[in-house]
Structure formats: structure tokens, C-alpha cells
Structure 1
Amino acid sequence: MNNKDIYYSCVTLIAYEISQWFYNEIHYVWCTPYFDPPSRLNPYNSVPPSSNPRALYWSLMKDVEALDLHSSRINTVRAGIQRGAASRLHQGMIGASQYREILKLIRLAQPANFKPLMLVIPGAPVTAMLNAVTVAQRASLFSEEYIIESLPRNLFDAIEL
């Protein structure tokens, strides 16, 4: 575990809105205590681009700005939101009609709906919620990554860069 006081996560506007509307402002986030891990200013951790909050943000923004209807990044996010909705249905957080509505929203969503947001999460209130990502799931063997399965909206800031 690190000694950092802030965690960062890149999410999309549509994922954020679905969490706000359908999941009672409870968010699922994959985060790291490093905003830009490969930066020369951060010699301690090397989170590759697939889990680097800054890299994810700008990669997604390029696809959104290009209105890329075949973006593999956007398609990956779509699939993740669908898996999340299925999980929330299984947990009883949403009902079948809400699940179908989320699937329809995702199917109809345009690239602009996938605009990235940066979540800035203060460490102290979430320490007990942090689940270390297993070695098999990490983007790199030695990267420091965490999942917060149920992050309340009042415990983070969402910003546009």
C-alpha cells in the first residue's frame, strides 16, 4: 500500500450518470494513487496506459472529439457498463426494467456520451473500501491499482480536464 492521500480514476460521463440515476449515486471505480505514473516526476510506480488515469482520459477524449463510431475504447466502456448493470441487477440494486433501460441507453449512446471525467478521491475516507487488484488483473505486474466497488458520490470530485 502506498502513502498517497489521493486516488484517481478515469470514468465516462455516461457511466457517471448511470451511477447517479440508477445506482443511488454509488459508483464502481478502478483507481490508482498516481495521476500520471510514467511521468519523470513519479519514479515509484509504472502503471501502463491501459490503467493510467491521465492516459485513459486523453485517449478517450480523442475518440470522443473525433466522433469515432468504431472506437475500441468506447466499445470496451460500453461492455463494462453492461457488465456493471448485470452485476447491479444480480445484487438487487436495480430491477429488470431498470436493467433493460440501462442497456437501451448504452446501445443508443453516441461518442459524446463517453466524454471522460477524472475522479479525484481523497484517501482517508476510502481506505477501508480499497480492494487491491489481483496480480492477474493488473495492467502491469508491479502496478498499484485498486477497486472501490461502492463509492458514494459525496466521497470524490469529478472534474473535466
Structure 2
Amino acid sequence: MTVNKADNISSIPIDGFSNVRITSLWTFFMSVQWSEPWLIGLLVFHAVCLFLTLLTCKYYRAQICHFLLVVGLVYSAEYLNELAARNWRSYSNFQYFDSKGMFISLVFSIPLLLNAVIIVMVWVYRTFSTMTELKTLQLKRKARREKREKND
């Protein structure tokens, strides 16, 4: 007597409210109930962070503070995931916070890291601009010196 076992597909997570197998980012994002108030608040938070990132482009010290705050939030994502997993019933209809941190990484950390990348790109651009400006001034100063020496 042989008993056939079903294929083990338990490695593919099942969405909590629609019982859909999550096989891609698209199915993951479609399985999230985006109308929950805390998720709307999270989206507003990310919009405000992006606005602050763009607003602080001209203010170096404010941008440093914003960058450190963003990186600190990303660093604390693991702890936030544990806290949210323990208390999800108080603010959510579904348990989104898995032990591997996929949900918090996709909806919390990645947008914050994109803000950090934008800030670093602004810093690199400003550094290159300053270096170009400095080299131009050095070449002008050298040309004036050579012209002065030639006239003397």
C-alpha cells in the first residue's frame, strides 16, 4: 500500500485574507488591504519623508539630521517588526508582520532607504560641483599668476 503525499509548497506564503499564494511582489502588494488606517498613515509618513528629503536639499545640516533619522528608523525596523507582530490586533485586521521581516522591509525600510539614496546622490552631486568649482578657481588663479609674471 502506497500513500501519495502532496507536493510540499509550504515555502510559498499564503496571504491572510484572500488565501492567494504570494509568488511575486505584485501579488504581495495586491494582497495587502491598503484601506487600513495605519497603512494609510504609513503612506502619508513616506510622502512626508520624501517631501522633507526634497525640501532639505539646500540645507545641509537639516539634511544630515534627516538622513540620520531615516537610517536610524531603518536600523530599528527589526525591533519595530517584533513590536508590531506582538500587538497587531490592536491596530490591524490582519497579521502582516512575519518573522523574516518581508512586510516591514517592503513597506517601511525600502522607501526610507530610497530617501537615503536620494540624499547621498545630492551629497555626491554637491561634492562634484564643489570640486569642479575649486578646480576652475585654481586654473583661473594660475592663469592670472602666469599673466602677471609674463607682464613683469
- After TM superposition, the score normalised by the length of structure 2 is 0.29
Instruction: Tell which has more relative contact order, 1 or 2 (C-alpha 8 A, sep 6+).
Output: 1
Q: Looking at CA atoms only, which structure, 1 or 2, has the larger radius of gyration? A: 2
Higher helix share: 2
